[in-house]
Amino acid sequence: MPANPLQALIFDVDGTLADTEEAHRTAFNHAFAEMGMEWRWDVPLYTALLDVSGGKERIRHYWNQAHADIRALDGQAVQDTIDRIHELKTAAYEQAVQDGAVALRPGVLKLIEAAHQDGLRLAIATTTSPVNIAALLRTSIGPDWRQVFGVVEDASTAPLKKPHPQAYLQTLQRLQLPARACMALEDSSNGLRAARAAGLPTLITPNEYTALHDFAGALRVLPSLRDVTVAHLRAWHAETVAGQSLARA
Ligand code: XBP
Ligand code: MG
């Protein structure tokens, strides 16, 4: 038995559990239209905006960057508008997920079930809103998904967004485990930076929105979790904890 065996997996949500960002982008555009705003985020623009974690932070960043009128507006009016856009967006996203617009990525459900069976603890550390997590996991795992993911840190409990490590640090605290006994699974450079800042070995599975991100410091970079087993994770974790060189797939 290795000195520090793997005891828990900490999953990111958007882009890792499922390719959700296209549904998020569509929901943002739906909200802009409902608000009668001319704004529209196409794929290239949204790819760049994803450097900002958190939907509300992303809206504010875009408004500052693309519409100088924000500076003439009352601060509370700006915040109220951002909140309303995000409320409409979250409702549209939740409906899209419930309508089946998003599926778990290849291999994710099989690995979650196998890890749970193998006695690994499972947690979530995300910058997305709790409504979005519940919609995705209720649809893809079932109403008892909280029995699978014992700890969940999200935008409502960890307001400092990735690359800030808050969500991961709070997850480790609630798991009562050291980072070296865990592994993070992520899809983006912000997520990798947050997990590494919390001391976590991190497995990366990029997607079309994060394919060109910098993943230096990752435990491995894999096209997906398809065919990844608990035995693979335990072996890769042991390599890292033993201080062997980090490898890229
Ligand atoms: C990804 C994010 C989120 C989503 C949108 O979260 O940064 O902001 O893009 O969801 P993660 P919200 O990869 O950490 O799961 O609009 O609810 O923020
Ligand atoms: Mg992500």
- Residues 116-125: pLDDT tens digits? 999 999 999 9
Closest CA to 162 of 132, 124, 108: 124
Q: What are 202-237's pLDDT values in tens digits?
A: 999 999 999 999 999 999 999 999 999 999 999 999
R_g of the chain, CA atoms, integer Å = 18
- SS3 string, 154-207, reads CCCCCCCCCCCCHHHHHHHHHHCCCHHHEEEEECCHHHHHHHHHCCCCEEECCC
**Considering every ligand atom, which ligand is closest to the CA of 135?**
1
192 touches 16 (CB < 8 A): no
Q: Which of 12, 19, 154, 187 is catalytic?
A: 12
Tokens of 151: 């700890």
Closest CA to 209 of 29, 26, 44: 44
Quick check: CB of 165 below 6 Å from ligand 1?
Answer: no
Quick check: CB of 15 below 6 Å from ligand 1?
Answer: yes
Q: How many residues does the chain have?
A: 249
**Considering every ligand atom, which ligand is closest to the CA of 210?**
2
Average pLDDT over residues 110-136: 97
Q: What is the pLDDT of residue 68?
A: 83
Assess whether 99 carries a catalytic annotation: no
Average pLDDT over residues 88-106: 97
Q: State if pTM tops 0.85.
A: yes
Q: How many other C-beta atoms are found inside a 10 Å radius of the C-beta of residue 101?
A: 16
Q: Report CA dihedral (138, 233, 184, 151) to the nearest 10 degrees.
A: 50
Quick check: CB of 13 below 6 Å from ligand 1?
Answer: yes
How far is C-alpha 199 from the chain's CA centre?
17
Instruction: Indicate the helix (H) or strand (E) that contains 8.
Output: strand 8-11
What domains does the chain contain, in order, with CATH numbers? Answer: 8-20+102-248 (3.40.50.1000), 21-98 (1.10.150.240)
Residue from 127, 133, 207 whose mutation best tests the ligand 1 pocket (most atoms within 8 A of CB): 127
Assess whether 14 carries a catalytic annotation: yes
Q: Which residues pair with 184 in a beta bridge?
A: 10, 202
Question: pLDDT > 70: what percent of the chain?
Answer: 96
Q: What are 146-166's pLDDT values in tens digits?
A: 999 999 999 999 999 999 999
Q: What are 15-68's pLDDT values in tens digits?
A: 999 999 999 999 999 999 999 999 999 999 999 999 999 999 999 999 999 998
| Mean pLDDT estimate for the chain | 95
